[in-house]
Amino acid sequence: MVSASLRVIHSLPCLLLSRNLLVVCTAVCLLTSAGCGKKDATTAGSSEKTATATSQVTDSSSNETTKGSVTPAESATAESATTETTASNASAENPSVEETALLSAPPLGPLPEVPVPADNPITQAKVDLGRILFFDNRLSGDAGTSCASCHDPRLGWGDGQAISRGYAGTQHWRNSQTTVNSAFFSKLFWAGEVPSLEAQAKSAITGNLAGNGDTVMIEERLALIPEYVTRFKEAFGVSEPTFDLVLKAIASFERVEMISRDSPFDGYLAGDIDALSDDAKKGLALFKGKARCIACHNGPLMSDEDYHFLNLPENKLFEKDPLRQVALRYQHYIRGVPEEVYRNADSDLGLYYTTKQESDRGRFRTPSLRYLEYTAPYMHNGVFGTVEDVIEFYDQGGGDDPSQSPLIKPLNLTEDEKFELAEFLYSLSGSEIRIQTPKLPEYQAVFD
Protein backbone atom coordinates (compact mmCIF):
# COMPACT_ATOMS: atom_id res chain seq x y z
CA MET A 1 0.00 0.00 0.00
CA VAL A 2 2.89 2.34 0.58
CA SER A 3 3.54 3.97 -2.70
CA ALA A 4 5.88 6.61 -3.97
CA SER A 5 3.11 9.18 -3.86
CA LEU A 6 2.41 8.44 -0.24
CA ARG A 7 6.06 8.90 0.48
CA VAL A 8 5.91 12.33 -1.01
CA ILE A 9 2.95 13.12 1.18
CA HIS A 10 4.88 11.83 4.09
CA SER A 11 7.42 14.51 3.62
CA LEU A 12 4.83 17.25 3.57
CA PRO A 13 4.09 17.54 7.26
CA CYS A 14 7.75 17.76 7.89
CA LEU A 15 8.06 20.64 5.49
CA LEU A 16 5.15 22.42 7.04
CA LEU A 17 6.49 21.75 10.46
CA SER A 18 9.91 23.06 9.74
CA ARG A 19 8.59 26.30 8.34
CA ASN A 20 6.35 26.86 11.31
CA LEU A 21 9.10 26.12 13.71
CA LEU A 22 11.46 28.47 12.07
CA VAL A 23 8.93 31.12 12.91
CA VAL A 24 8.39 29.88 16.44
CA CYS A 25 12.14 29.67 16.91
CA THR A 26 12.15 27.10 19.66
CA ALA A 27 15.24 25.13 20.35
CA VAL A 28 14.94 21.86 22.22
CA CYS A 29 11.23 21.44 22.46
CA LEU A 30 10.12 17.88 22.31
CA LEU A 31 7.11 18.06 20.14
CA THR A 32 5.11 14.92 20.15
CA SER A 33 3.52 14.25 16.85
CA ALA A 34 1.53 11.12 16.56
CA GLY A 35 1.51 11.58 12.84
CA CYS A 36 5.23 11.05 12.41
CA GLY A 37 5.22 8.06 14.66
CA LYS A 38 6.40 4.54 14.38
CA LYS A 39 3.84 3.41 11.86
CA ASP A 40 4.04 5.07 8.52
CA ALA A 41 0.43 6.05 8.88
CA THR A 42 1.23 9.66 8.31
CA THR A 43 -1.29 10.93 5.90
CA ALA A 44 -2.42 14.23 4.63
CA GLY A 45 -4.71 14.43 7.61
CA SER A 46 -1.89 14.41 10.04
CA SER A 47 -0.39 17.55 8.66
CA GLU A 48 -3.23 19.45 10.13
CA LYS A 49 -2.69 17.75 13.42
CA THR A 50 0.97 18.50 13.29
CA ALA A 51 0.40 22.08 12.48
CA THR A 52 -1.89 22.35 15.46
CA ALA A 53 0.69 20.86 17.67
CA THR A 54 3.27 23.18 16.27
CA SER A 55 1.25 26.19 17.22
CA GLN A 56 1.34 24.96 20.79
CA VAL A 57 4.96 24.14 20.75
CA THR A 58 5.95 26.52 23.47
CA ASP A 59 3.54 24.76 25.80
CA SER A 60 4.52 21.25 24.94
CA SER A 61 6.01 19.47 27.85
CA SER A 62 9.08 17.37 27.52
CA ASN A 63 7.92 14.37 29.44
CA GLU A 64 5.92 12.73 26.74
CA THR A 65 7.09 9.79 24.77
CA THR A 66 9.12 10.97 21.85
CA LYS A 67 9.10 7.96 19.59
CA GLY A 68 7.52 10.21 17.08
CA SER A 69 9.04 13.49 18.07
CA VAL A 70 10.27 15.90 15.49
CA THR A 71 12.49 18.86 16.00
CA PRO A 72 13.38 21.74 13.79
CA ALA A 73 16.67 20.62 12.44
CA GLU A 74 15.61 17.01 12.23
CA SER A 75 12.57 17.87 10.23
CA ALA A 76 14.64 20.06 7.98
CA THR A 77 17.03 17.29 7.21
CA ALA A 78 14.30 14.73 7.11
CA GLU A 79 13.08 16.54 4.08
CA SER A 80 16.17 16.03 2.04
CA ALA A 81 16.64 12.48 3.22
CA THR A 82 13.12 11.54 2.38
CA THR A 83 13.39 13.19 -0.95
CA GLU A 84 16.50 11.24 -1.68
CA THR A 85 14.88 7.98 -0.66
CA THR A 86 11.90 8.79 -2.72
CA ALA A 87 14.00 9.56 -5.70
CA SER A 88 16.05 6.41 -5.49
CA ASN A 89 13.04 4.19 -5.13
CA ALA A 90 10.55 6.03 -7.15
CA SER A 91 10.22 3.27 -9.68
CA ALA A 92 9.36 0.58 -7.14
CA GLU A 93 5.72 -0.37 -7.15
CA ASN A 94 5.95 -2.81 -4.26
CA PRO A 95 8.26 -1.61 -1.55
CA SER A 96 10.86 -3.99 -0.29
CA VAL A 97 11.35 -4.90 3.34
CA GLU A 98 14.13 -2.41 3.73
CA GLU A 99 12.15 0.37 2.08
CA THR A 100 9.26 -0.26 4.42
CA ALA A 101 11.64 -0.21 7.32
CA LEU A 102 13.00 3.13 6.24
CA LEU A 103 9.58 4.61 5.88
CA SER A 104 8.29 3.34 9.15
CA ALA A 105 11.38 4.28 11.12
CA PRO A 106 10.67 6.68 13.93
CA PRO A 107 12.63 9.84 13.23
CA LEU A 108 15.79 10.72 15.01
CA GLY A 109 15.50 13.34 17.68
CA PRO A 110 16.79 14.62 20.96
CA LEU A 111 16.59 12.25 23.88
CA PRO A 112 13.45 12.60 25.92
CA GLU A 113 13.33 12.84 29.66
CA VAL A 114 14.75 9.74 31.23
CA PRO A 115 12.03 7.21 31.95
CA VAL A 116 11.77 6.55 35.66
CA PRO A 117 9.93 3.54 37.04
CA ALA A 118 7.07 4.35 39.37
CA ASP A 119 8.56 2.27 42.15
CA ASN A 120 11.91 4.03 42.07
CA PRO A 121 11.56 7.79 41.85
CA ILE A 122 14.83 9.62 41.59
CA THR A 123 16.26 11.46 44.56
CA GLN A 124 19.69 12.97 45.00
CA ALA A 125 20.35 10.71 47.98
CA LYS A 126 19.81 7.63 45.80
CA VAL A 127 22.02 9.00 43.06
CA ASP A 128 24.83 9.77 45.50
CA LEU A 129 24.52 6.32 47.03
CA GLY A 130 24.37 4.59 43.66
CA ARG A 131 27.52 6.38 42.53
CA ILE A 132 29.47 4.93 45.43
CA LEU A 133 28.01 1.46 45.02
CA PHE A 134 28.86 1.49 41.33
CA PHE A 135 32.54 1.67 42.25
CA ASP A 136 32.40 -0.66 45.24
CA ASN A 137 34.02 -4.02 44.59
CA ARG A 138 32.39 -5.46 47.69
CA LEU A 139 29.29 -6.10 45.60
CA SER A 140 31.16 -8.97 43.97
CA GLY A 141 31.80 -12.40 45.44
CA ASP A 142 35.50 -12.03 46.11
CA ALA A 143 35.29 -8.26 46.58
CA GLY A 144 37.56 -7.82 43.59
CA THR A 145 35.20 -6.54 40.91
CA SER A 146 32.92 -3.52 40.82
CA CYS A 147 30.47 -2.35 38.17
CA ALA A 148 33.19 0.08 37.11
CA SER A 149 35.59 -2.79 36.41
CA CYS A 150 33.76 -3.46 33.16
CA HIS A 151 31.99 -0.10 32.90
CA ASP A 152 34.99 2.12 33.31
CA PRO A 153 34.48 5.87 32.94
CA ARG A 154 37.90 6.07 31.30
CA LEU A 155 36.80 3.57 28.65
CA GLY A 156 33.46 5.03 27.68
CA TRP A 157 31.85 3.22 30.60
CA GLY A 158 32.62 -0.03 28.81
CA ASP A 159 35.90 -1.88 29.22
CA GLY A 160 37.65 -1.25 25.93
CA GLN A 161 37.92 -4.97 25.26
CA ALA A 162 36.43 -6.80 22.31
CA ILE A 163 34.94 -9.22 24.79
CA SER A 164 34.68 -8.39 28.44
CA ARG A 165 37.11 -9.68 31.04
CA GLY A 166 34.50 -11.13 33.34
CA TYR A 167 34.87 -12.21 36.95
CA ALA A 168 38.22 -13.41 38.24
CA GLY A 169 38.96 -16.94 37.07
CA THR A 170 36.59 -16.54 34.14
CA GLN A 171 36.39 -14.69 30.86
CA HIS A 172 33.12 -13.25 29.67
CA TRP A 173 31.64 -14.08 26.28
CA ARG A 174 30.25 -10.71 25.19
CA ASN A 175 31.37 -7.14 24.71
CA SER A 176 30.83 -4.88 27.69
CA GLN A 177 28.33 -2.26 26.65
CA THR A 178 28.48 1.32 27.77
CA THR A 179 26.16 2.23 30.59
CA VAL A 180 25.81 5.71 29.10
CA ASN A 181 22.22 6.30 28.02
CA SER A 182 21.33 2.74 29.00
CA ALA A 183 18.55 4.33 31.04
CA PHE A 184 16.55 4.84 27.86
CA PHE A 185 16.44 1.16 26.94
CA SER A 186 13.50 -0.99 27.86
CA LYS A 187 15.62 -4.10 27.24
CA LEU A 188 19.10 -4.44 28.62
CA PHE A 189 22.02 -6.64 27.64
CA TRP A 190 22.94 -7.58 24.08
CA ALA A 191 20.03 -9.92 23.68
CA GLY A 192 17.62 -7.79 25.71
CA GLU A 193 17.47 -10.32 28.50
CA VAL A 194 16.15 -7.99 31.20
CA PRO A 195 13.66 -5.11 31.21
CA SER A 196 15.19 -2.52 33.53
CA LEU A 197 18.40 -1.09 34.87
CA GLU A 198 17.53 -2.58 38.23
CA ALA A 199 17.24 -6.06 36.72
CA GLN A 200 20.42 -5.52 34.72
CA ALA A 201 22.35 -4.65 37.86
CA LYS A 202 20.98 -7.74 39.59
CA SER A 203 22.11 -10.02 36.79
CA ALA A 204 25.51 -8.39 36.59
CA ILE A 205 26.16 -8.55 40.31
CA THR A 206 25.07 -12.15 40.76
CA GLY A 207 26.06 -13.60 37.39
CA ASN A 208 28.82 -16.13 37.79
CA LEU A 209 30.87 -14.68 34.95
CA ALA A 210 30.34 -11.09 36.07
CA GLY A 211 30.10 -10.26 39.77
CA ASN A 212 29.52 -13.71 41.27
CA GLY A 213 28.04 -11.97 44.27
CA ASP A 214 25.85 -13.51 46.94
CA THR A 215 22.94 -11.22 47.69
CA VAL A 216 22.77 -11.93 51.41
CA MET A 217 26.53 -11.58 51.78
CA ILE A 218 26.27 -8.22 50.06
CA GLU A 219 23.54 -7.08 52.42
CA GLU A 220 25.56 -8.14 55.42
CA ARG A 221 28.68 -6.43 54.10
CA LEU A 222 26.76 -3.20 53.68
CA ALA A 223 25.22 -3.55 57.13
CA LEU A 224 28.71 -3.36 58.64
CA ILE A 225 29.64 -0.21 56.76
CA PRO A 226 28.13 2.61 58.85
CA GLU A 227 28.24 5.18 56.07
CA TYR A 228 26.14 2.91 53.88
CA VAL A 229 23.66 2.27 56.66
CA THR A 230 23.24 6.02 57.01
CA ARG A 231 22.97 6.58 53.28
CA PHE A 232 20.41 3.81 52.78
CA LYS A 233 18.39 5.31 55.60
CA GLU A 234 18.53 8.73 54.00
CA ALA A 235 17.76 7.44 50.54
CA PHE A 236 15.14 4.82 51.34
CA GLY A 237 14.15 5.22 54.97
CA VAL A 238 15.30 1.73 55.89
CA SER A 239 17.24 0.67 58.93
CA GLU A 240 19.38 -1.81 57.00
CA PRO A 241 20.60 -1.90 53.41
CA THR A 242 18.93 -4.47 51.17
CA PHE A 243 20.03 -5.88 47.86
CA ASP A 244 16.89 -4.65 46.15
CA LEU A 245 17.71 -1.12 47.22
CA VAL A 246 21.29 -1.50 46.03
CA LEU A 247 19.84 -2.06 42.58
CA LYS A 248 17.54 0.92 42.86
CA ALA A 249 20.34 3.21 43.94
CA ILE A 250 22.64 2.12 41.12
CA ALA A 251 19.83 2.50 38.60
CA SER A 252 19.09 6.00 39.91
CA PHE A 253 22.74 6.94 39.53
CA GLU A 254 22.73 5.68 35.94
CA ARG A 255 19.51 7.52 35.15
CA VAL A 256 20.93 10.83 36.28
CA GLU A 257 24.66 10.84 35.70
CA MET A 258 25.07 8.60 32.70
CA ILE A 259 23.08 10.61 30.26
CA SER A 260 24.72 12.03 27.18
CA ARG A 261 22.66 14.51 25.22
CA ASP A 262 25.19 17.16 24.30
CA SER A 263 26.49 15.71 21.07
CA PRO A 264 27.00 17.88 17.99
CA PHE A 265 24.02 16.13 16.49
CA ASP A 266 21.94 17.16 19.49
CA GLY A 267 23.05 20.72 18.89
CA TYR A 268 22.05 20.35 15.28
CA LEU A 269 18.69 18.95 16.30
CA ALA A 270 18.25 21.94 18.55
CA GLY A 271 18.61 24.28 15.61
CA ASP A 272 22.32 24.92 15.41
CA ILE A 273 22.83 24.19 11.76
CA ASP A 274 26.57 24.66 12.12
CA ALA A 275 26.88 21.99 14.77
CA LEU A 276 27.40 19.41 12.03
CA SER A 277 30.01 19.66 9.33
CA ASP A 278 28.87 19.45 5.76
CA ASP A 279 30.26 15.94 5.58
CA ALA A 280 28.32 14.96 8.67
CA LYS A 281 25.15 16.41 7.20
CA LYS A 282 25.70 14.33 4.09
CA GLY A 283 26.34 11.40 6.38
CA LEU A 284 23.01 12.04 8.09
CA ALA A 285 21.25 11.94 4.75
CA LEU A 286 23.00 8.67 3.94
CA PHE A 287 22.11 7.37 7.39
CA LYS A 288 18.45 7.90 6.66
CA GLY A 289 18.63 7.08 3.00
CA LYS A 290 21.08 5.13 0.96
CA ALA A 291 22.86 3.46 3.88
CA ARG A 292 19.54 2.62 5.53
CA CYS A 293 21.01 2.74 9.05
CA ILE A 294 17.83 4.34 10.29
CA ALA A 295 15.88 1.18 9.56
CA CYS A 296 17.14 -0.10 12.90
CA HIS A 297 18.99 2.82 14.45
CA ASN A 298 16.03 5.08 14.76
CA GLY A 299 14.22 7.24 17.23
CA PRO A 300 15.93 9.48 19.75
CA LEU A 301 17.92 6.57 21.12
CA MET A 302 18.93 5.46 17.63
CA SER A 303 17.80 1.95 18.39
CA ASP A 304 14.60 0.21 17.46
CA GLU A 305 15.14 -2.06 20.48
CA ASP A 306 14.37 -4.93 18.15
CA TYR A 307 16.47 -7.99 17.42
CA HIS A 308 18.41 -8.58 14.23
CA PHE A 309 20.79 -11.18 12.86
CA LEU A 310 23.62 -9.33 11.17
CA ASN A 311 25.62 -12.40 10.23
CA LEU A 312 28.73 -10.90 11.74
CA PRO A 313 32.13 -12.53 11.52
CA GLU A 314 32.86 -14.62 14.59
CA ASN A 315 35.40 -13.35 17.06
CA LYS A 316 38.41 -15.65 16.79
CA LEU A 317 38.97 -15.35 20.53
CA PHE A 318 36.59 -18.26 20.90
CA GLU A 319 39.04 -20.42 19.00
CA LYS A 320 42.04 -19.14 20.90
CA ASP A 321 41.09 -18.77 24.54
CA PRO A 322 40.04 -21.82 26.57
CA LEU A 323 38.21 -19.68 29.12
CA ARG A 324 36.11 -18.08 26.38
CA GLN A 325 35.12 -21.57 25.33
CA VAL A 326 34.19 -22.36 28.91
CA ALA A 327 32.06 -19.21 29.02
CA LEU A 328 30.33 -19.97 25.75
CA ARG A 329 29.38 -23.51 26.75
CA TYR A 330 28.38 -22.31 30.21
CA GLN A 331 26.04 -19.77 28.67
CA HIS A 332 24.43 -22.50 26.57
CA TYR A 333 24.17 -24.76 29.61
CA ILE A 334 22.64 -22.32 32.06
CA ARG A 335 20.14 -20.97 29.57
CA GLY A 336 18.72 -24.43 29.13
CA VAL A 337 19.16 -25.07 25.43
CA PRO A 338 18.46 -28.57 24.11
CA GLU A 339 21.42 -30.91 24.46
CA GLU A 340 22.09 -31.02 20.74
CA VAL A 341 22.43 -27.25 20.67
CA TYR A 342 24.83 -27.40 23.60
CA ARG A 343 26.91 -30.12 21.94
CA ASN A 344 27.32 -28.03 18.81
CA ALA A 345 27.73 -24.67 20.52
CA ASP A 346 30.20 -22.60 18.57
CA SER A 347 28.80 -19.09 18.72
CA ASP A 348 26.66 -16.73 20.75
CA LEU A 349 23.03 -17.50 19.98
CA GLY A 350 21.67 -14.18 21.19
CA LEU A 351 17.91 -14.02 21.47
CA TYR A 352 17.66 -17.79 20.96
CA TYR A 353 18.76 -18.39 24.55
CA THR A 354 15.61 -16.69 25.70
CA THR A 355 13.08 -17.90 23.16
CA LYS A 356 14.58 -21.22 21.96
CA GLN A 357 13.21 -20.30 18.53
CA GLU A 358 15.44 -21.26 15.63
CA SER A 359 14.59 -18.02 13.89
CA ASP A 360 16.07 -16.09 16.80
CA ARG A 361 19.55 -17.58 16.51
CA GLY A 362 22.17 -14.88 16.46
CA ARG A 363 19.73 -12.03 16.81
CA PHE A 364 20.82 -9.20 19.05
CA ARG A 365 19.14 -6.06 20.22
CA THR A 366 20.10 -2.96 18.25
CA PRO A 367 22.43 -0.85 20.37
CA SER A 368 22.28 2.91 20.55
CA LEU A 369 24.81 4.80 18.45
CA ARG A 370 25.12 7.65 20.87
CA TYR A 371 28.43 8.03 22.69
CA LEU A 372 30.06 5.58 20.25
CA GLU A 373 33.24 7.62 19.95
CA TYR A 374 34.23 6.27 23.36
CA THR A 375 32.92 2.73 23.17
CA ALA A 376 35.04 0.81 20.67
CA PRO A 377 35.30 -2.07 19.93
CA TYR A 378 31.87 -2.57 18.46
CA MET A 379 29.25 -5.29 18.13
CA HIS A 380 28.16 -7.93 20.65
CA ASN A 381 31.38 -9.82 20.09
CA GLY A 382 33.55 -6.74 19.69
CA VAL A 383 34.65 -7.93 16.30
CA PHE A 384 35.08 -4.45 14.82
CA GLY A 385 37.65 -2.12 16.26
CA THR A 386 36.59 1.06 14.52
CA VAL A 387 33.53 2.84 13.20
CA GLU A 388 35.05 2.52 9.74
CA ASP A 389 35.17 -1.27 10.10
CA VAL A 390 31.50 -1.26 11.00
CA ILE A 391 30.58 0.85 7.99
CA GLU A 392 32.62 -1.42 5.76
CA PHE A 393 30.74 -4.44 7.07
CA TYR A 394 27.36 -2.92 6.36
CA ASP A 395 28.49 -1.66 2.98
CA GLN A 396 29.36 -5.19 1.96
CA GLY A 397 25.98 -6.39 3.10
CA GLY A 398 26.86 -9.26 5.38
CA GLY A 399 27.27 -12.79 4.08
CA ASP A 400 25.23 -15.47 2.41
CA ASP A 401 23.46 -16.94 5.43
CA PRO A 402 19.81 -17.07 4.36
CA SER A 403 18.64 -16.19 7.83
CA GLN A 404 20.56 -12.92 7.79
CA SER A 405 18.35 -9.91 8.33
CA PRO A 406 16.81 -8.86 5.01
CA LEU A 407 17.75 -5.32 5.95
CA ILE A 408 21.40 -6.13 5.45
CA LYS A 409 22.28 -5.78 1.78
CA PRO A 410 25.21 -4.33 -0.13
CA LEU A 411 24.99 -0.54 -0.02
CA ASN A 412 27.45 0.44 -2.74
CA LEU A 413 28.67 3.42 -0.78
CA THR A 414 31.51 5.38 -2.29
CA GLU A 415 34.59 6.05 -0.23
CA ASP A 416 33.39 9.61 0.21
CA GLU A 417 30.04 8.42 1.40
CA LYS A 418 31.63 6.07 3.92
CA PHE A 419 33.66 8.98 5.21
CA GLU A 420 30.57 11.15 5.46
CA LEU A 421 28.67 8.46 7.28
CA ALA A 422 31.52 8.08 9.75
CA GLU A 423 31.57 11.84 10.25
CA PHE A 424 27.92 11.74 11.09
CA LEU A 425 28.37 8.81 13.48
CA TYR A 426 31.13 10.65 15.28
CA SER A 427 28.79 13.60 15.70
CA LEU A 428 26.61 11.44 17.93
CA SER A 429 29.05 11.61 20.83
CA GLY A 430 29.04 14.51 23.23
CA SER A 431 31.56 15.36 25.85
CA GLU A 432 33.03 12.47 27.75
CA ILE A 433 31.28 11.69 31.00
CA ARG A 434 33.92 11.52 33.65
CA ILE A 435 33.29 11.56 37.36
CA GLN A 436 35.59 11.54 40.30
CA THR A 437 35.96 8.04 41.66
CA PRO A 438 34.14 8.12 44.98
CA LYS A 439 35.90 7.31 48.20
CA LEU A 440 34.61 3.99 49.44
CA PRO A 441 33.32 3.90 53.00
CA GLU A 442 34.93 1.41 55.33
CA TYR A 443 33.80 -1.56 57.36
CA GLN A 444 33.44 -1.01 61.05
CA ALA A 445 32.89 -3.45 63.90
CA VAL A 446 29.42 -3.03 65.37
CA PHE A 447 29.94 -4.58 68.79
CA ASP A 448 32.09 -2.99 71.47
Partner 1 sequence: MSRFFGTLTVLLVFAAGVVKAQGEPRPLGGLPSLGEKLEPAQVDLGRQLFFDPRLSGDATISCATCHSPDHGWADGLALSRGYPGTRYFRNTPTVVNAALGRLMYWDGRLPASDLPTVVRDHISEAHFLQADGRLVIERMRQVPEYERQFNDAFGGEPTYGRILNSVAAFVSSLTSQGVPFDKFLAGDEAAISDEAKQGLELFKGKAGCIQCHDGAMLSDGKFHSLGLNANPEIFKDPLRHITFRRFFRTLGVPDYALMRQDAGLYCVTKVKHDRELVRTPTLREVSRTAPYMHDGQLPTLEAVVSFYNSGGGPRASKDERLKPLGLSEDEQSALVEFLKTLSGKPIEVTRPKLPAYQLRKLGDN
List the one residue from 212, 260, 368, 405 that touches partner 1 (CB under 8 A).
212
> CA 100, CA 86: separation in Å to the nearest integer?
12
> Considering the complex, what minimum distance in angstroms separates the CB of residue 125 from partner 1?
24
Residue 303 Ramachandran class (φ > 0 left, ψ -120 to 50 alpha, else beta): beta
Number of residues lying near partner 1 (CB under 8 A): 45
Name the nearest CA neighbour of 372 among 288, 428, 420, 318.
428
Nearer to partner 1, 9 or 217 (CB): 217
Site string for partner 1, 128-167 (x = CB under 8 A): ----------x-xxxxx----------------------x
Chosen residue from 154, 262, 278, 343 binding partner 1 by CB under 8 A: 343
Tell me 208's DSSP state: T
First to last CA, the chain: 78
Interacting span for partner 1 (CB under 8 A) from 80-88, 214-222, 252-260, 398-406: 214-222
The single residue among 89, 325, 354, 396 that binds partner 1, judged by CB under 8 A, is 325
Closest CA to 286 of 95, 185, 432, 415: 415
Distance CA 157, CA 152 (A): 4
Beta carbon nearer to partner 1, 48 or 346:
346
When asked if residue 223 is in the footprint of partner 1 (CB under 8 A), the reply is yes
Give the one residue of 28, 234, 242, 330 binding partner 1; rule: CB under 8 A. Answer: 330
Among 146, 170, 182, 303, binds partner 1 (CB under 8 A): 170
Question: What is the spatial distance between Cα 328 and Cα 287, in angstroms, rounded to a whole number?
Answer: 34
Residue choice 346, 392, 401, 416 for contact with partner 1 (CB under 8 A): 346
Using rule CB under 8 A, residue 259 touches partner 1: no
Please give the Cα distance from 33 to 43 (Å, whole number): 12
Residue whose CB is less far from partner 1, 334 or 435: 334
DSSP bridge pairs for 307: 365
R_g over Cα of the chain: 23
CA separation for the pair 159, 178 (Å, rounded): 8
Q: Are 132 and 292 in contact (CB under 8 A)?
A: no
3-class DSSP state of 365: strand
CB of residue 343 to partner 1, shortest distance in Å: 5
Q: Are 53 and 46 in contact (CB under 8 A)?
A: no
My answer on whether omega of the bond before 402 falls inside 30° of 0, hence cis, is no
Separation of alpha carbons 405 and 407, rounded Å: 5
Least Å distance between CB 228 and partner 1?
12
Q: Does 221 bind partner 1 (CB under 8 A)?
A: yes
345 in contact with partner 1 (CB under 8 A): yes
Q: Which is nearer to partner 1, 237 or 322 (CB)?
A: 322
401 near partner 1 (CB under 8 A): no
Instruction: Note whether 290 binds partner 1 by CB under 8 A.
Output: no
324 backbone dihedrals φ, ψ, rounded to 5°: -70, -35
Examine residue 383 and tell whether it contacts partner 1 (CB under 8 A). no
Interface with partner 1 by CB under 8 A: which residues? 138, 140-144, 167-170, 208-209, 212, 214, 216-217, 219-221, 223-224, 240, 318-323, 325-327, 329-330, 333-334, 342-346, 443-447
